[in-house]
Amino acid sequence: MSAALAPVVSRNPADPSDILVETAAPGAFAAADAVERARTAQPGWLRGGAAARSAALGAIAAAVEAAADELTALAVREVGKPVTEARAEVARTAAIWRYYAQAPYDATGAVHETATGAGLLLTRRRPHGVAGLITPWNFPFAIPSWKAAPALATGNTVVLKPAPEATACAQRLAVIVQQAVPDGVLTVLPGGATEGDAVASAADVVSFTGSTAVGQAVARTVADRGVPVQAELGGLNAAIVLPDADLDTAAAHLAAAIAGYAGQKCTATSRVIAVGAALDPLREALIAHLRALPVGDPADPTTVCGPLIDERARSRVTEARRGLSELAGVPAPARNDGWYAAPALVENVPPGHPLLHQEVFGPLAVLLCADDLDHAVRIANSVPYGLVTSVHTASLDTALHGLDRLDTGMIRVNAPSTGVDFHLPFGGTKASSRGPREQGGAALDFYTSTRTYGLAPAHP
Ligand code: NAD
């Protein structure tokens, strides 16, 4: 049965001859088995108590920190993340585990008076059972961690199905976690769509991050089973720049948000909307910053834009910019056939062009012009996605106006669209998200459900 499945392969995007993982796909039965093993382990993990779960999560944070150099190098090699950013992701991963290590001690409910005055009413949040986590490759340690840590903290066990392109990172993270938790509490199941679908079909709560088409299909299947599901999906994020902004600082933020990690973040900026007189000076500043942005070997600490994840991604970027006049194209390095694409800014894109309504997931942005702030907000809101918008202005009034009217889950003022914090709810509107938010306290709610208890006196 599994002989027909494509093998799981992961390659170095900067040097595709360097293969990190090449293994047979485990198949749907193995996925169902992994969920069953996790289900068997779950009651013991919950009964072990808050102190044990807190200590385990704290130990994972410390182990991630102790292995930071090795994990950083692995992310650089497997997913082509520039080393400075990879190091920051590993530090953030440790912080995520440490943050959720406190959660097992949090209150899980409230006490209420009864209507009659006798007895007590209580609420208590309880874990769902097995959390099935399906993750993309672009944050190979942080995304699995911001799902697994709250799931484990609240007493669920976990089956993680990582993207094939990030298999080695997920397996290394699993070794760290498994040293701190009992057998069966967290399993990493390599694979692709077959294994993802099998995990989504068997788990008691499902959290997905990835592309909109796949995530919406997964969310529908899981919701039809009556199981809680969240899906964090794509983006087509706008940056609105007002003439009163510090245009050079805004351009520096935008260049990093467009081309950092080759634009392969759901929060990357892909539409720059200049308002009125901001257009000409912003264009000039943005071109200068994009041209100065170091493109190349992700292992070089100065690199900001490394390779794309694979050949298919590079072709998608090449196709998306075909025939458009580029304002800031810089040559991409050709090194060991790495999947590089140069950052680019394009202007005068015809209405209806795919760049104006589809996510490309590459170092590419469109420059647009708006007559005034209302017009800019209308343009920003005119796409099927609603993840994050950045607004660049010196005026508090303008910022507040934007906050009220922008239809995105996250809004950042005078900051890049990328780089959101893990201790607050994360998610979008429209095609960018399905279901409840993740991260922060929202994740603790998602991985639990509320029970209401009524306690009456035995001898009224
Ligand atoms: P993808 O949708 O191709 O894959 C995501 C995961 O789903 C992988 O583990 C994949 O193996 C699995 N999968 C594929 N088909 C499946 C199926 N039929 N059933 C179940 N699982 C299946 O996405 P990707 O290329 O890994 O990641 C890039 C995308 O992720 C971009 O669209 C990006 O915007 C999005 N993303 C979103 C967020 C967010 O929080 N909103 C964060 C990071 C990435």
- Strands (E) across 326-442 are located at 344-347, 364-370, 385-386, 388-392, 410-413, 429-430, 433-434
Half-sphere exposure of 174 (CA within 13 A, CB side): 21
Q: Compute how many other C-beta atoms are within 10 angstroms of the C-beta atom of residue 10.
A: 29
SS3 breakdown of the chain: % helix, strand, coil, rounded to 5?
45, 20, 35
Q: From the CB of 28, is ligand 1 less than 6 Å away?
A: no
Question: For residue 232, what are the contacts with CB-CB under 8 A and spacing of at least 6?
Answer: 208, 209, 215, 266, 426, 427, 428, 432, 433, 438
Q: Strand, helix or coil at 158?
A: strand
- Listed in sequence order, the residues at least 6 apart from 379 whose beta carbon sits closer than 8 Å to its beta carbon are 238, 271, 273, 368, 370
Atom of ligand 1 nearest to the CA of 428: 41
207 Cβ inside 6 Å of ligand 1: no
Q: What distance in angstroms lies between residue 356's CA and the mean position of ligand 1's atoms? A: 21
Residue 423 near residue 96 (C-beta atoms within 8 A) = no
Q: Is the CB of 216 under 6 A from ligand 1?
A: no
Report phi then psi at 126, rounded to 5.
Answer: -125, 150
Q: Is 438 considered catalytic here?
A: no
Alpha-carbon distance 130 to 247, whole Å?
49
Cα(128)–Cα(152) distance, rounded to whole angstroms? 11
CA 141 to chain centroid: 10
Check 266, 305, 369, 438 and give the catalytic one. Answer: 266
CATH code for the part of the protein at 3-233+432-455: 3.40.605.10
The tokens describing 104, both together, are 């097992």
Atom of ligand 1 nearest to the CA of 162: 9
Burial 96-119 (b: 16+ CB within 10 A, else e): bbbbbbebbeeebeeeeeeeeeee
Instruction: Concatenate the DSSP letters of all residues of 196-216 into one string.
Output: HHHHHHH-SEEEEES-HHHHH
Report how far ligand 1's centroid is from the alpha carbon of 278 (Å): 36
What tokens does 292 get?
A: 């100065």
CB of 136 within 6 A of ligand 1: the answer is yes
In the CATH scheme, what is the code of domain 237-413?
A: 3.40.309.10
Using CA atoms, how far apart are residues 423 and 96, in angstroms rounded to an integer? 8
Atom of ligand 1 nearest to the CA of 139: 43
Domain boundaries, the chain: 3-233+432-455, 237-413
pLDDT tens, the chain, 460 aa long: 445 688 999 999 999 999 999 999 999 999 999 999 999 999 999 999 999 999 999 999 999 999 999 999 999 999 999 999 999 999 999 999 999 999 999 999 999 999 999 999 999 999 999 999 999 999 999 999 999 999 999 999 999 999 999 999 999 999 999 999 999 999 999 999 999 999 999 999 999 999 999 999 999 999 999 999 999 999 999 999 999 999 999 999 999 999 999 999 999 999 999 999 999 999 999 999 999 999 999 999 999 999 999 999 999 999 998 888 777 655 566 666 899 998 999 999 999 999 999 999 999 999 999 999 999 999 999 999 999 999 999 999 999 988 889 999 999 999 999 998 999 999 999 999 999 999 999 999 999 999 999 999 999 8
Determine the residue type at 330: V
Question: Is the sign of the CA dihedral 270, 276, 279, 285 positive or negative?
Answer: negative
**Residue in this structure with the two tokens 């106006």, named with its chain if needed:** 401
